[in-house]
Homo-oligomer: A and B are copies of this chain.
Amino acid sequence: MSAVSMAGALNRALADSLAADPSVLVFGEDVGPLGGVFRVTDGLAARFGEERVFDTPLAESGIVGTAIGMAMNGLRPVVEMQFDAFAYPAFEQITSHLAKLRNRTRGQVSLPVVIRVPYGGGIGGVEHHCDSSEAYYTHTPGLRVVTPGTPDDAYRLLRDSIASPDPVIFLEPKRRYWAKGELSADSADSADSVAFDRALVRRTGRDVTLIAYGPMVATALETADAAAEEGWDVEVVDLRSLSPFDDETVCASVRRTGRAVVVHEASGFGGYGAEVVARVTERCFHHLHAPVLRVTGFDIPYPPPKLEEHHLPSVDRILDAIARLQWDDEVVGGHGA
């Protein structure tokens, strides 16, 4: 099978889901004839017709709110928010309805809605086009929050998300839209739901666990290569499902290595990484040789294009964090007061 970009893999997942299930719809701003500003929906309106793939008025709350109504009536809407920050007008519908209606109705109403959100920076985008908004969604019970790091995962996770009876916030790392990768053999014909809420060890290593997701998976793997040259054997865990969180896979890794660094683009304060640190520390405290560290964006609004490189986690910054994991202390032990 030939290599495909992440945008291409997503396009294929949408097409395959539309073809497989007549209740699947795709709509949003510019997703019809234009094919989306990132071309993720390219060709779908022509192939499946404008009844199933269509442009809406420009109103994000309207898009999510009507998707909720459609899902109540048995359809499976897959909607797009054009950029991360433009999902905020839909925040009320997402938080108070999409996330809570199943619970509110004791399971009688199921909302299989997927909200695709191109997120994160690194593409020279101006303000409001580069937010990493995962923490807003992961703190909201009732939502699943998923993000792929590779084209293959993009395909599989999106198919799983569309098949899921739960609402899914599907975060697409826009800086990786054009990076190519192979699709695994089976992914073209079936959605493999085993993958859906499990983290994946992308690279094994003995010394330290790098915990990453979405756009940072590639950066973490690069770091692991660089770290190998410095003598550190780095394990890389790709979370894929941010909520629910796969404690099992992550903790098994950290217990093995005794050290961990969490990486994400979003601002650190109150960011998703805080949860990872807290969970891992609670569950693996006695296996830890050093506090779990975070490498994240600064606690600032996303910067303009010319400054974004300073904000984003880099290989060097992750290596620095690894270096700070108290390698010398190892023999000392104990956390005396």
Binding site for B on A (CB under 8 A): 61, 85, 88-89, 91-92, 95-96, 99-100, 103-104, 127-128, 135-136, 138-139, 141-142, 243, 245, 255, 258, 266-267, 269-275, 277-279, 281-282, 285-294, 299-301, 333-337
* Bound CA span A41–B275, Å: 37
Return chain B residues, CB-CB under 8 Å to A289: 335, 337
Return chain B residues, CB-CB under 8 Å to A285: 290-291, 335
* Bound CA span A291–B284, Å: 9
Additional A-B contact list (18), CB under 8 Å, known A96-B128, A139-B270, A274-B275: A100-B301, A136-B136, A138-B269, A139-B271, A141-B267, A141-B269, A141-B301, A142-B301, A273-B278, A274-B277, A278-B281, A281-B292, A286-B335, A287-B335, A287-B336, A287-B337, A333-B334, A334-B334
Q: Measured between C-beta atoms, what is the minimum distance from A116 to chain B in Å?
A: 18
**Which of B92, B272, B274 meets A91, CB within 8 Å?**
B92
* Bound CA span A271–B32, Å: 38
Which of A92, A128, A289: most chain B CB closer than 10 A?
A92
* Bound CA span A176–B135, Å: 28
* Bound CA span A85–B93, Å: 11
Q: Measured between C-beta atoms, what is the minimum distance from A135 to chain B in Å?
A: 5
Q: Measured between C-beta atoms, what is the minimum distance from A270 to chain B in Å?
A: 4
B139, A267: Cβ atoms under 8 Å?
yes
B335, A270: Cβ atoms under 8 Å?
no
**Which of B96, B273, B278, B293 meets A294, CB within 8 Å?**
B278
B128, A139: Cβ atoms under 8 Å?
no
B139, A127: Cβ atoms under 8 Å?
no
Which of A243, A270, A334, A336: most chain B CB closer than 10 A?
A270
* Bound CA span A245–B85, Å: 25
